[in-house]
Amino acid sequence: MFKKNKARPLMILLLSVMLFCRQSDASADEGVVLALSGGGAKGLAHIGVIKVLQDEGVQIVGIVGTSMGAVIGGLAAAGYDGDELANIFQELDIYELFSDSRDGKTPSSQSKSIIRIGYDKEGRIVGRKGLMEGKGLYEEMLKYTAKAETYDFMKLPIPFAAVATDLKTGDMVVITKGNLASAMRASMALPGIFSPWPYEGKLLIDGCMVANLPVRVAKELFPDYPVVAVDVTGKLVTKEEIRSIVDVLGQTVGIVTAKNVQEDLQYSDFVIRPSVDDISLMDFSNASRIIERGVVAAAQEIENIKLLAANKVDETYTSAEKPIVKNVILTGLPDIEKTFIDEKRWWIGRPLSMALVNEALLELLRHDRVATADYKLLEDDEEVTVEFVVQRKPPKEYKFYGYSTNLSPYNRWVSLEYTGRDVLDIGDEANLKLWLGENTLAKASYMGREGSTWRFESDLAFQDWEISPENSGKV
219 vs 213: CA distance, rounded Å: 12
Tell which residue, 38, 48, 33, has the closest CA to residue 71. Answer: 38
Residues belonging to the chain: 475
DSSP class of 186? H
User: Going by DSSP bridges, is the β-strand pair 429-437/440-450 parallel, antiparallel, or unpaired?
Assistant: antiparallel
Which helix H or strand E contains 459, and what residues bound it? strand 454-464
203 vs 170: CA distance, rounded Å: 10
Mapping DSSP onto H, E and C, the string for 240-267 reads HHCCCHHHHHHHHHHHHHHHHHHHHHCC
Nearest-10 Cα torsion for 253, 258, 263, 266: 110
Amino acid type, 205:
I
Catalytic residues: 67, 206
DSSP class of 468? -
The DSSP code sequence of 279-327 is: S-TT--TTHHHHHHHHHHHHHHHHHHHHHHH-S-------PPPPPEEEE
401 vs 373: CA distance, rounded Å: 27
Residue 415 CA neighbour count, 13 Å, CB half: 26
Residue 153: phi and psi, rounded to 5, are: -65, -20
